[in-house]
Chains A and B, each alone.
Chain A
Amino acid sequence: MRKRYNVFAAFIISCMSFITANAQTVTISGTVTNNTSKEIVPAVSVVVKGTSKGTYTNSNGEFTLKVNKLPVVLTFSSIGFDSQDITVSDASKSIEVDIKVNNALGQEVVIAATRAPSKILESPITIERITNADIKNSPASNYYEILGNVKGVDLTTSSLTFKTVSTRGFNGSGNLRFNQIVDGMDNQAPGLNFSVGSVIGLTELDVESMELLPGASSALYGPGGMNGTLIINSKNPFKFQGFSFLAKTGIMHTDQKYRNASPYYNWSARLAKAIGNKFAFKLNMELVKANDLLAADDRNFARTGTTGKIVPGSRTSDPNYNGVNIYGDETSADIRAVLSGIAAQAPFLAPFIATLSANPINVSRTGYKEIDIVDPETLNYKIAGALHYKLTSKIEAIFSGYWGTGKSVYTGSDRYALKGLKMGQYKLELNHPNWFLRGYTTQENAGETYNSTVATQLFNEAWKPSPGSTGWFAQYGQAYLSSKLAGAIDIDAHNQARAIADIGRPVPGSQQFKTIFNDVISKPIPKGGKFIDQTDLYNYEGQYNLSHITGSFADVLVGANYKKYVLNSRGTLFADSAGTIGISEFGAYVQVSKGFAQNKIKLSVSGRYDKNENFSGKFTPRATMVINVAKNNNLRFSYQTAYRFPSTQNQWINLAVGGGTRLIGGLPTFRDFYKFNTNPVYSLESVIGGSPKTPTFSEFKPESVKSYEAGYKGLIANGKLLIDLYGYLGNYTDFISSMVLLQANSGNPADLADPSKRTAYSVSVNAPQKVKTSGYGLGIDYRFYKKFSFTSNFSSDILGDLPVGFVSYFNTPKYRFNIGLSNNGFGKDQAFGFNIAYKWQDKFFYQGTFITGNIEAVQTVDAQISYKIPLSKSQLRIGANNLLNQYYRNAAGNPSIGGLYYVSYGYNIF
């Protein structure tokens, strides 16, 4: 690491030698105010017209700028205001500038769509933009949730602080088909394979904008963005200066359905300052503390490998009950083994036992609820800072660090209690209007994270071992028989047997419980439930926009990146017990854009090539066209391809999970290690079907998607109504899926039917089937009166026909609908604001490696009312998420989400 930083340092120094000293002689200063409310306006860009020389107003609306000579024309611009030119010929007195509020729609500039600035109305692909102003006026308690009201977006909530954004299907806590890029850095935890944005990302006060690209986007953003890319940019300290503070205090679990009512705290602070025109820094902190949402689905789940279904039955009606969010009851055995042992010892009972033993008597151990084994407190602490230095007026060097630690819960193949998860991202970047160079590393540390299922199973074993002549199952079997011999009907005999085998079972919260549990979670897998994961990622990339050279012909953009993963789990997650595993990837892209017919038609073609050391190279082309049919009315068409390399887990995982299944990577080396060649494996389906078949393994390949999309975005009704419409078709090949394989421990295929004599593997493979998706969406934004805004959108994502039994994990409602009404300034001094948002989504079937089941339709109302305290730069807000406290879930096995009510005080929020 140190060595790498040295390289960057040397690079910066070499750049600094370019700096030329300009004689700057005249200092202009002034203040910018809002022409209607007369409030000061911070973060207004003040630029000498026709140059890159400029500054921003500070938190008091003031600016100072040195220029060579007078007179000079200054351009004042800011989002939400009309751009205004002022000629300054006298610098002796302060300039007062009133800038005019502009509520016109569709004027925002986006970068994500083409990696170069363009007006959102002219974007060649579907793009959604959320700005700091939207965040400021949103009812959401967390800025990630705002995305949930955007068309075509689904949120998967695994925990209060763990929300995962998905577009165009395949929702999940860890969505591997959706990229999250924060300040240019991939936000995915390199080992755990989930995006940690809502746990360890930007603090709310530091978010300048979020740009969401639904649909395939790896042509520009690299592997992973098959279904979408979310780009979050932080506030530049040159532009957004001063001290800001936001304190939200709320209450959750008000009806005490799952937990006692408990407070919610979310405090964040930001300090940014420019020192002169060359140096600026910022510092951010955020603390979230609350009692987490609780996953408390106690329905019965019949599991086979990594799939299964919800079945009738409870702990008292099904001896082999396996509650969805009950842990430890995954350990199951057929007590006929115990009974036949008794029959051998006591032949006079043998015929009686034979009458009981016609069918398997599967019994599961008694589990514990999530509330018993996962600390309710979710704690999330983020700290980030950045140093910015302008090497020249055009080249800005940035060194930034983002670090966070959190306690949260993640749903993967099991529920993982993230405890002391730490992730740091450190970046060095050089920015120029035409190019950038960037190097960053992601340092992950799973901390004390444990697998709830495995930890609780081992807890049960630590208290009373399952096997053996005095083990839990032996005690159960004897007690069961004893009850049967007293005439008990079956279920009573089972419940009496359980009561006897469970005598002395540790009571949750007792000292005995804590002692055993803490011991189990302090030991790494496989002896305990703990993960050791310190996987790191190193990424280097650069981009050059050649348009200033090639502009006469076409705009040309080129870029490249190199990525290295270092897997380090000491055998607890990956097959890396012998040492860390490195994975290298590189990629390069080029984009050529050209306008035709007075720029009424813009064509853009791009291509990207990537190579991962474990897979063959992949070329992904993209072509887009924008047709300007009338002023502010554009049609867009795109053909995009995208793909993803199998994730680090798809490649190298080696993990025994709750259902008695071992997850293994798809690389061929695993098949040798587990001796598939000498002791063949058979597909689960074929074993269930009665004629075991060995699968053939084909080359493990990256998954790819071809996506066709058309859309329209336009302003009508005198610019008061913005309409955005899209439709797409997606076609996935080499879909990365998993296959459950069974291997007889003895090598004799006759043993495959007996779960105790076989090993189950869930191995990552490419499905031979093609998966097709399609969808459409319509959104409107209507500024119908003054600052009142009515928004509504409707979207649909549809999975094409699939062969019976194929598990696609599409996990997406077919329809969803949002409406909202807001106003960010009304009443006296425009001091009041409000926002109310309603969301409905259809019911859908959720398939997960943890749980598969129905998700019911969801309706939620979020609302907030705010009041700006005049002349104090302060804002008070009262808000509610899920105002009506109607519990809902958005993924199987995940917690029930109830209402969160909060008041907040914000100082200097911009």
Chain B
Amino acid sequence: MFQINKNLKLLPAIFLFLVSFFMFTSCNKEFDKAGGEITFPPNGTTPTLATLLDASDMTILKAAVTKAGLLPSLSNTSLRFTLFAPNDAAMTSSGISLAVINALSVSTVTSLMQYHVVPQVVSTASIPTTFPNLQYPTLLNPAPALSALLRLTTFPSRRANGIWVNNIPITVPDIQAVNGVMHKVALVVSPPSRYVYDRINTDADLSIFKAAIIRADEGLAPTSPTSIIGVMNNIGANLTVYAPSNQAFKNLISALTMGMIPTNAPDATYISFLASNNVTTQTVRGIVVYHITLSRAFTNNIPITALSIPTFLNLGIPSHPGITIASTFTGPSVSAATVKGVANATASNIAINPTPDPAGTSDQHFLNGVIHKIDQVLLPQ
């Protein structure tokens, strides 16, 4: 007992000792900081691209976007878009009213609206000013069954005279939203639905050009990827075709035959000539490919100062000087444009008429290219 009592005296000391342990023992920290996480603005932050459509001049577009089911995406702050926005006036100019929107099928409105949305932020500062332009995929997949990654593209461009998407002027650029940017456009930006060859195949004024293409493809199946028809029917192609009118071919063939074939014979005469042994396939092919460039240039992309650009011909003859293009602007619109082959005495004129396909003759936009009608056949040599 004596010993225990003596030990008891020590207990306070031991207790203090133990308490001091626990005071020392604050929390161990296992890991130091790993750093911050990325934060996003919460949904509902204004303005979003969707709330921008609440403006009083956006009623038709808002109705169309709503019908297309795109409104939730345009409200989502973790998605990023560029919206090309025709206001009510632009819609009306393009012949689209609320009634039209209501009348059109959901799939048609969806396609139309998806073509106005690019899935990334394209502010005008990032649009290149150099020839020809860049292409930006829109939300519109023309053939989802073919590939989930297929997209129709738009072609924003910027020059001293203005800013466009395809050949549609951007009237009010760079309206910022938390989830992207909106550019007001002067007209509806119509998505193309046909291939370049579809127009050539059906336009009566291009029947001789078509015959030239067929002769140029002699020996190749139309489905061959190296055939011109094949390329003109390929969704992956990106072309500008300077398509000589029938009269342009008539004038050329008449000159080549020293007038033996007049300039005003029936179209069939020239078509037969191009199929005959009077010309070689190689010559015709050389001329046809000289009218095709492997980039998409609307007339507003053609520089004011004449510029030589390569053509399809340069794939075979890399050193060829190509064709020379030039344009004249009146305000934000192109009033005249020319294209000249190296062996032509004068430049041929693009028939300016941007009425959408099939009615117009310039800036005719297709799934895989654009066609401008010209009044001379371009001669590479």
Name A residues whose Cβ lies closer than 8 Å to a Cβ of B: 297, 299-300, 310-314, 317, 342, 345-349, 351-352, 355, 478, 481-482, 484-489, 491-492, 785-786, 788, 821, 826-828, 836, 838, 840, 853-854, 856-861, 884, 886-889, 896
Query: Is B25's CB under 8 angstroms from A886's CB?
Result: yes
A351 vs B134: C-alpha distance in the bound complex, in angstroms? 6
Query: Is A299's CB under 8 angstroms from B28's CB?
Result: no
Is B18 close to A, CB under 8 A?
yes
Q: Which residues of A contact B120 (CB under 8 A)?
A: 352, 355, 484, 487
A857 vs B24: C-alpha distance in the bound complex, in angstroms? 12
Query: Is B119's CB under 8 angstroms from A484's CB?
Result: yes
Is B238 close to A, CB under 8 A?
yes
Residue from B35, B40, B139, B147 whose CB has the most chain A CB atoms within 10 Å:
B35
Q: How far is the CB of B104 from chain A (nearest CB, A)?
A: 23
Closest to A837 in B: B21
Is B36 close to A, CB under 8 A?
yes
Identify the 8 closest CB pairs spanning chains A and B, nearest first: A312-B35, A487-B119, A487-B79, A886-B28, A888-B28, A856-B29, A299-B34, A351-B134
A352 vs B31: C-alpha distance in the bound complex, in angstroms? 41
A725 vs B259: C-alpha distance in the bound complex, in angstroms? 118
Closest to A886 in B: B28
Known contacts: A821-B17, A840-B24. The answer to whether A348 contacts B32 by CB under 8 A is no
Query: Is B26's CB under 8 angstroms from A888's CB?
Result: no
**Interface with A: B148-156, B189-197, B314-322, B335-343, which one?**
B148-156
Residue from B6, B29, B134, B139 whose CB has the most chain A CB atoms within 10 Å:
B29
Is B4 close to A, CB under 8 A?
yes
Indicate which residue in A297, A482, A785, A887 contacts B148 across the interface (CB closer than 8 Å): A482
Seed contacts A484-B119, A856-B28, A861-B25; 12 additional CB < 8 Å A-B pairs: A312-B34, A346-B150, A347-B238, A348-B151, A352-B135, A478-B148, A487-B81, A488-B78, A492-B79, A785-B10, A853-B32, A888-B28
Q: Can you identify 13 A-B contacts, CB atoms within 8 angstroms?
A: A317-B37, A348-B152, A349-B149, A478-B148, A485-B137, A487-B80, A488-B78, A489-B80, A827-B4, A857-B29, A886-B25, A886-B27, A887-B28
Query: Is B153's CB under 8 angstroms from A348's CB?
Result: yes
Known contacts: A487-B73, A856-B32, A887-B30. The answer to whether A346 contacts B238 by CB under 8 A is no
A857 vs B120: C-alpha distance in the bound complex, in angstroms? 47
Query: Is A313's CB under 8 angstroms from B35's CB?
Result: yes
Q: Decide if the interface of chain B is mainly helix, strand, loop or mixed.
A: loop
Query: Is B28's CB under 8 angstroms from A485's CB?
Result: no
Indicate which residue in B79, B135, B153, B236 contacts A486 across the interface (CB closer than 8 Å): B79
A341 vs B3: C-alpha distance in the bound complex, in angstroms? 87
Q: How far is the CB of A783 from chain B (nearest CB, A)?
A: 13
Closest to B34 in A: A299
Q: Which residues of A contact B6 (CB under 8 A)?
A: 786
Is B131 close to A, CB under 8 A?
no
Q: Which residues of A contact B30 (CB under 8 A)?
A: 297, 856, 887-889, 896
A815 vs B148: C-alpha distance in the bound complex, in angstroms? 62
Q: Which residues of B contact A888 (CB under 8 A)?
A: 28, 30
Q: How far is the CB of A370 from chain B (nearest CB, A)?
A: 15
Q: Which residues of A contact B236 (CB under 8 A)?
A: 345-348
Q: Which residues of A contact B25 (CB under 8 A)?
A: 838, 859, 861, 884, 886
Q: Which residues of B contact A857 (CB under 8 A)?
A: 28-29
Q: Which residues of A contact B137 (CB under 8 A)?
A: 348-349, 352, 485
Indicate which residue in B4, B7, B35, B149 contacts A482 across the interface (CB closer than 8 Å): B149
Q: Which residues of A contact B17 (CB under 8 A)?
A: 821, 836
Q: Which residues of A contact B139 (CB under 8 A)?
A: 485-487
Q: Which residues of B contact A859 (CB under 8 A)?
A: 24-26, 28
Is B14 close to A, CB under 8 A?
yes
Q: How far is the CB of B7 from chain A (nearest CB, A)?
A: 6
Q: How far is the CB of B148 from chain A (nearest CB, A)?
A: 6
Known contacts: A484-B119, A485-B119, A827-B3. The answer to whether A478 contacts B149 by CB under 8 A is yes
Query: Is A826's CB under 8 angstroms from B149's CB?
Result: no
Q: Which residues of B contact A788 (CB under 8 A)?
A: 10
Q: How far is the CB of B132 from chain A (nearest CB, A)?
A: 11
Closest to A299 in B: B34
Is B38 close to A, CB under 8 A?
yes
Q: Which residues of A contact B78 (CB under 8 A)?
A: 488-489, 492
Query: Is B149's CB under 8 angstroms from A827's CB?
Result: no
A282 vs B184: C-alpha distance in the bound complex, in angstroms? 94
Is B136 close to A, CB under 8 A?
yes
Known contacts: A348-B236, A352-B136, A884-B25. The answer to whether A485 contacts B151 by CB under 8 A is yes
Closest to B37 in A: A317
Indicate which residue in A300, A317, A828, A854 contacts B38 across the interface (CB closer than 8 Å): A317
Q: Which residues of B contact A484 (CB under 8 A)?
A: 119-120
Query: Is A838's CB under 8 angstroms from B135's CB?
Result: no
Q: Which residues of A contact B79 (CB under 8 A)?
A: 486-489, 492
Query: Is A299's CB under 8 angstroms from B81's CB?
Result: no
A489 vs B79: C-alpha distance in the bound complex, in angstroms? 5
Q: Which residues of A contact B149 (CB under 8 A)?
A: 342, 346, 349, 478, 481-482, 485
Residue from A311, A317, A349 whose CB has the most chain B CB atoms within 10 Å:
A349
A355 vs B136: C-alpha distance in the bound complex, in angstroms? 10
Q: Which residues of A contact B3 (CB under 8 A)?
A: 826-828
Q: Which residues of B contact A351 (CB under 8 A)?
A: 134-136
Q: Which residues of A contact B40 (CB under 8 A)?
A: 489
Indicate which residue in A486, A853, A896 contacts B119 across the interface (CB closer than 8 Å): A486
Within 8 A of A (CB), among B133-167: 134-137, 139, 147-153
Query: Is A821's CB under 8 angstroms from B147's CB?
Result: no
A827 vs B8: C-alpha distance in the bound complex, in angstroms? 10
Query: Is A838's CB under 8 angstroms from B24's CB?
Result: yes
Query: Is A310's CB under 8 angstroms from B32's CB?
Result: yes
Q: Which residues of B contact A889 (CB under 8 A)?
A: 30
Query: Is A312's CB under 8 angstroms from B36's CB?
Result: yes
A310 vs B32: C-alpha distance in the bound complex, in angstroms? 9
Query: Is B28's CB under 8 angstroms from A858's CB?
Result: yes
Q: Which residues of A contact B29 (CB under 8 A)?
A: 856-857
Residue from B30, B78, B149 whose CB has the most chain A CB atoms within 10 Å:
B30
Closest to B6 in A: A786
Closest to A790 in B: B17
A488 vs B40: C-alpha distance in the bound complex, in angstroms? 13
Closest to A858 in B: B28
Q: How far is the CB of B37 from chain A (nearest CB, A)?
A: 5
Closest to B151 in A: A485
Query: Is A491's CB under 8 angstroms from B38's CB?
Result: yes
Q: How far is the CB of B367 from chain A (nearest CB, A)?
A: 10
A300 vs B31: C-alpha distance in the bound complex, in angstroms? 12
Q: Which residues of B contact A856 (CB under 8 A)?
A: 28-32
Closest to B136 in A: A352
A166 vs B78: C-alpha distance in the bound complex, in angstroms? 52
A349 vs B14: C-alpha distance in the bound complex, in angstroms? 77
A351 vs B120: C-alpha distance in the bound complex, in angstroms? 12
Q: Which residues of A contact B35 (CB under 8 A)?
A: 300, 311-313
A478 vs B147: C-alpha distance in the bound complex, in angstroms? 11
Query: Is B32's CB under 8 angstroms from A854's CB?
Result: yes
Q: How far is the CB of B117 from chain A (nearest CB, A)?
A: 8
Closest to B141 in A: A485
Q: How far is the CB of B379 from chain A (nearest CB, A)?
A: 29
Q: Which residues of B contact A827 (CB under 8 A)?
A: 3-4, 7
Q: How far is the CB of B32 from chain A (nearest CB, A)?
A: 5
Q: Which residues of A contact B147 (CB under 8 A)?
A: 346
Q: Which residues of A contact B238 (CB under 8 A)?
A: 347-348
Q: How far is the CB of B375 from chain A (nearest CB, A)?
A: 31
Closest to A349 in B: B137
A317 vs B40: C-alpha distance in the bound complex, in angstroms? 12
Q: Which residues of B contact A489 (CB under 8 A)?
A: 40, 78-80
Residue from B36, B134, B137, B153 whose CB has the most chain A CB atoms within 10 Å:
B137
Q: Which residues of B contact A488 (CB under 8 A)?
A: 78-80, 119
Q: How far is the CB of A198 from chain B (nearest CB, A)?
A: 22
Q: Which residues of A contact B134 (CB under 8 A)?
A: 351
Q: Which residues of B contact A297 (CB under 8 A)?
A: 30-31
Q: How far is the CB of B276 from chain A (nearest CB, A)?
A: 36
